[in-house]
Structure 1
Amino acid sequence: MELLDAVFVFQMHEEQELLWHQRVHSHEKGQFEVHYFVSGSGTFSNAQNRYAISPGSLFVTKGETVHSIEASREESLTYYATLISCLEEQPLIEILEQKNPITVGTNLRFFFEEVRDKGLSSSPELRISACHQVLGLLYNLAAGTRMDDSKTENVRLEKAIRYMQRHVFDKLSLDMIASHVQLDHSYFVRLFKKRMNTTPMQYYSNLQLEAARALLTSTNLSVKEIADKLQFCSEFHFSKRFKQSTGSSPSAYRKTHLQLLGM
């Protein structure tokens, strides 16, 4: 059992980005992929079937099945994708693939954030833990267990995250976010960190860097223009933060990624 990839795709809407995700592709036998859509609309094609994408919908695809994602040009998609190699669980995956799309609600964002963090960890134990978490979720779904988590604290956090996403190109402050969800900012920070394992402002910064990666690979905006668009105080500060996050400069990231896409 191995977690091969865990990604968060933020606001997919640029032309080149749309083409990349709309590509028809499959994975190797014994693998399976889970797509969980948080916001936006579009179409998910799985083999010969086409399904409408809506917030809170989840799709399970076995490795050999060709699939693609088509985003609405009016409403960008935000989603998590997790790819796992686990040949022995193929009977479960085949059952769930027939249930697509599975409506699970938007509060599983926190679950997939944790899976992604563990999946990208250098610790093999945490990566295996992430695999078991995903399999636990899938067995619950196969059993028909309701996954709706409507705790008040999760509703508040979901509202805060949606607010941050909508204003990723603005300059939000902690007080603005806490005020939006009507919480004392000290309590809000403790609540957010307990659930997300990071602070609200660090999460907001990460969202901005996700947006920067999308802009670098799907637009012709210069590095300075992207830094300005994301409200960084300078191109130097943006480049420094970007390299700390990705390990490469914005220009190098753009060049490498476009080569991988064959552009």
Structure 2
Amino acid sequence: MVLNIREALFVYQLQDEEKIRWHSRVHAHGRDEYELHYFLQGGGSFSVGSTTYRISPGSVFLCPPLEVHTIQTIGNDHPLTYYAILFAPDEGADAELRELLTGRLPRSLYRHVGTNYRFFFEELKEKVASSSSARRNSGIHQFVSFLYMLNEGPGSFNYGDGSNQHIEKALKIMQGRVTEKLDLPTLAKRVGLNESYFIRLFRQKMQITPMKYFTRLKIEAATGYLLGTSQPLYQIAETLGFYSEFHFSKTFKQYVGVSPRGYRERYRQNIEGIDS
């Protein structure tokens, strides 16, 4: 391998106070570790070293090893949604890639690439978590290509073919309508494909059906409500478009492995243990 992707995270609408404190902490990574952030939604600032940048949708920031950096939000009215990739060159990385990271790319890099890279990063996240070495390696090489495009500048960012654009549009719709009810016929129509082809294409690209992905997004949003608010379960279920509190609890447990009530109680116990 040319590099090792150690973590690939998707942070949806950063609102919970504990998560904000964690993601906003001033920190640096290891001697060979780089971290890339790609912001899709919200506002705030990104500080790396002595430089502070304004966050806007479509911003990309690359932090070098040992460089102190932090994210500052501007309140829950503009919650941040972003991908974060932590990576390090492998021992077998070629000299050209190392020279790209240490020489050609600015030490603290900022680019604005637009918001059409949802699919790129969602696919990358799925690939590097795959049990298939072929898919993991495919994701790594995909990411290396992105790093080279960062070096070339904004004119090089034109990702994907027509089928990727359909998935990109679907992801944008789903990520923007998490608190709404959205059915497959409506989504397929918005994307401009018939339902059967849309399902096949989405599953081929994302390794999951579109509505299962949409449910996963709702569960990600639910964790924020559970940890960041005192709203009762029935209210969270209603906010996120579940049929009932029972339906919400059953679905949550399927995806997370614990009930919403248990998830909230475990979190509170962890916080009490940290504070005591």
TM value normalised by structure 1 = 0.85
Q: Which amino acid aligns with 1:79?
A: Y
Does 1:110 find its partner at 2:110?
no
Counterparts in 2 of 1:1-263, with a 5 A limit? Answer: 1-73=3-75, 74-86=77-89, 91-94=99-102, 95-98=104-107, 100-123=109-132, 126-144=135-153, 146-149=156-159, 151-257=161-267, 259=270, 262=274
CA shift digits 1:34-92 (9 cap, x unpaired): 11112232211111111112222211112311111123333222111111233666653
* Structure 1 runs of 4+ with >6 Å offset: none
Cα distance between partner residues in 2 of 1:28 and 1:260 = 27
Alignment gaps of 5+ in structure 2? 92-96
CA contact (8 A) 1:3 1:128 kept: no
Change (3 A) 1:158 1:114: closer
Larger displacement relative to structure 2 (198-207 or 139-148): 139-148
CA shift digits 1:126-160 (9 cap, x unpaired): 44543333223212322447122375544443333
CA shift digits 1:187-235 (9 cap, x unpaired): 3333333333322211211110110122222222233432232222333
Cα distance between partner residues in 1 of 2:85 and 2:256 = 19
Cα distance between partner residues in 1 of 2:267 and 2:143 = 28
Report the alpha carbon displacement of residue 123 of structure 1 after superposing the two structures with TM. 4.3
Cα distance between partner residues in 2 of 1:5 and 1:255 = 27
Aligned-residue Cα RMSD (Å) equals 2.8
Report the alpha carbon displacement of residue 119 of structure 1 after superposing the two structures with TM. 2.4
Larger displacement relative to structure 2 (163-172 or 223-232): 223-232
CA contact (8 A) 1:30 1:90 kept: no
Q: Which amino acid aligns with 2:140?
A: C
Alignment gaps of 5+ in structure 1? none
Cα distance between partner residues in 1 of 2:206 and 2:17 = 31
Larger displacement relative to structure 2 (47-56 or 103-112): 103-112
Change (3 A) 1:147 1:50: same
Cα distance between partner residues in 1 of 2:205 and 2:136 = 19
Aligned length: 263
Change (3 A) 1:14 1:28: same
Cα distance between partner residues in 2 of 1:118 and 1:83 = 15
Cα distance between partner residues in 1 of 2:249 and 2:4 = 33
Q: Which amino acid aligns with 1:54?
A: S
Report the alpha carbon displacement of residue 7 of structure 1 after superposing the two structures with TM. 0.9
Change (3 A) 1:195 1:123: closer
Q: Which amino acid aligns with 2:151?
A: A
How high is the sequence identity, in percent, across the aligned residues? 41
Q: Which amino acid aligns with 2:141?
A: H
Report the alpha carbon displacement of residue 257 of structure 1 after superposing the two structures with TM. 4.6
Cα distance between partner residues in 1 of 2:139 and 2:194 = 33
CA contact (8 A) 2:64 2:108 kept: no
SS at match of 1:105: coil
TM value normalised by structure 2 = 0.81
Change (3 A) 1:182 1:26: same
Cα distance between partner residues in 2 of 1:184 and 1:69 = 41
Q: Which amino acid aligns with 1:44?
A: F
CA contact (8 A) 2:123 2:205 kept: no
Change (3 A) 1:154 1:114: closer
Larger displacement relative to structure 2 (174-183 or 20-29): 174-183
Which of structures 1 and 2 has the bigger CA Rg? 2
